[in-house]
Structure 1
Amino acid sequence: MMFYDVVLLVVVVEAVVVVVVVVVVVVVIVVVVVVVVLIVVVEEVVVLVVVVVVVVVVVVEVVVVVVVVVVVVVVVVVVVVVVVVVVVVVVVVVVSSSSKLVVVVVK
């Protein structure tokens, strides 16, 4: 009976060892798969964040350029209007004073 008990004990210990090895291998495989998936997902998230940041920067640059162009156009229009008004005022003053002069000279 002792021999059979020793053989049974060896078989049980080998079975437990095999089960433990299988469980460890499965856990290692699952951990590796999870790490790889996380790396891929994190990489995709990083790529997505970089793309979003680049798009936001480009949009901000476009908005800044549009605002600068609008400000330049408004400044040019204001300068042109001021120049036209000054010219008109000068012409009116000159014509007004010259007509008075002419009228004075004629009298």
Structure 2
Amino acid sequence: MMMVMMVMMMMVLIVMVMVVVVVMMMVMMVMMIMMMMMTTTTSTTTTMMILLMLMVWWWW
């Protein structure tokens, strides 16, 4: 019985961590889109966007 409970706890923890990661990814994407909307002229922001995108890709 204890083993089953422990396994369940582990599963729940893993799922929670995954959900948090996905939410963070979505927030980052939204922030990037907002930045792009705000400043479409400056090239520094675009380079930052590319770097962030690459970082996100790497994390996935």
Secondary structure in 1 matching 2:39:
helix
Distance in 2 between the 1:49 and 1:79 partners?
Answer: 45
Distance in 1 between the 2:2 and 2:28 partners?
Answer: 38
Q: Which is richer in helix?
A: 1
Report the aligned-residue RMSD.
0.6
Q: Which runs of 5+ in 1 are unaligned?
A: 1-47, 91-107
> Counterpart amino acid of 1:70?
V
Whose relative contact order is higher, 1 or 2, with alpha carbons under 8 Å and at least 6 apart? 2
User: Quick one: percent identity of the two aligned structures?
Assistant: 29
Q: Which runs of 5+ in 2 are unaligned?
A: 42-60
Aligned residues: 41
Distance in 2 between the 1:68 and 1:54 partners?
Answer: 21
Larger Cα-atom Rg: 1
Runs of 4+ in 1 over 2 A off after TM superposition: none
- Could you state the TM-score of these two structures normalised by the residue count of structure 2? 0.65
